[in-house]
Amino acid sequence: MGIGSRLREERERLGLNQEGFGQLGGVRKQAQLLYEKDERKPDSDYLAAVAAAGVDVLFVLTGLRQSNLPAQDAGEQRLLENFRRCSPAARQNLLQSSILLSAGLPAEAAPVAGVPPRNRPPGP
């Protein structure tokens, strides 16, 4: 199984068509098709973009699932297990929240798909 078939497997796991998956990676449908047919290889910008959307890039490149890697501790393991059970939209929300939290910003600042923003008091 090559990179192309593993990309297709990840695309199908996320429930996306070639056009939608290509958009995640910043490419057109035709480029996605060529990647999946192993006629072209994706570059690092594409791989970084699809990874941010929940694609297991380690699996795409090597055939080894991230889920087979040991967690650092029980809390990390629990977080990973819960994340993997989420829908693609929920995963995106969790990723956005984690980026904000790791930068020291409040998680409330992250947009949540399908949920209107709360009324917040004006900033300083």
Q: What's the mean pLDDT when you consider all of the chain?
A: 83
Which residues are paired to 112 by β-bridges? 115
Type of residue found at 101? L
Render pLDDT for 2-44 as a digit per residue (tens, 0 to 9). Answer: 999 999 999 998 889 999 999 999 999 999 999 999 999 999 9
pTM over 0.75: no
Q: Is 115 helix (H, G, I), strand (E, B) or coil?
A: strand
pLDDT at 124 over 60: no
CATH number assigned to the domain with residue range 3-67, chosen from the 4 options 2.40.370.10, 3.40.50.1820, 1.10.260.40, 3.30.70.1140: 1.10.260.40
d(CA 10, CA 40): 17
Over residues 55-103, the pLDDT tens digits come to: 989 999 999 887 666 677 778 878 888 888 888 888 888 888 888 888 8
The three-class DSSP label of residue 37 is coil
